Structures are given as C-alpha cells and as structure tokens.
Amino acid sequence: MNVLKIFYVLLIVFFVTGLLLFLVFVLPEYMACNKTMYEGEKGITFFGDEIDCGCENQAFGEALTQLFATILISLSLIIITLKLIMNKLKNKLISKNVL
C-alpha cells in the first residue's frame, strides 16, 4: 500500500509540473498564432511576448500542444484509476480489521 501511495504522489507531482509547463509555455504560444495568419506575421501571447508565427512554428506549436494534452490526459486517467484501486484496497483492509 505504501508503494502505491508513493507512486500516486509522484504521478501527482509530474501531472502538476506538466500542467504548469503546458499553461505557461505551450498554450500561450499556440493560442497567439491563428491559422489565418500570413507567413512572417508576429503573434502576441497573453503575457505580452511577441512570437514569430511562421508555418513551421505553427505546426510545431500544434504538435507540442497535442502531445502535452495527450500526456496530461493519460496521467490524469492513471491517477484516477490508481486512486480508485487504493480506495478499494483500503476498504478491504478495513473490513478485515487489518488497519
């Protein structure tokens, strides 16, 4: 049970760190560049940073956004599943008066 708790806490730490990186670095750049922008236009993030919205940057930003979103969704599903397993094990141990 202790190993599951340690793994659970590590997953939460990775999830929160990834979410912060996603919200601070990846998402603002992705949202600053519209798909309707012309080659060489500059976009402004909601932090006020100016970024180049060239074709390669748009494609890379979209791929990075999709990658981060997939990783974060997968981590959240693993965390939820692990928490349900931990609760089920805890209830079994309580019913057997082991705790």
CB contact set of 49 (below 8 Å; sequence gap of 6+): 28
- Interatomic CA distance for residues 97 and 99, integer angstroms: 6
**Domain spans in the chain, listed from the N-terminal domain onward:** 2-33+50-91
Mean pLDDT score of the chain: 88
Residues 26-68 pLDDT 10s: 898 888 887 656 777 888 888 888 888 877 778 888 899 999 9
State the pTM of this model: 0.82
What is the CA 82 to chain-centroid distance, rounded? 17
Output the pLDDT for position 2.
87
CA distances from 70 to 28, 35, 42, 43, 92 (A): 17, 21, 27, 25, 33
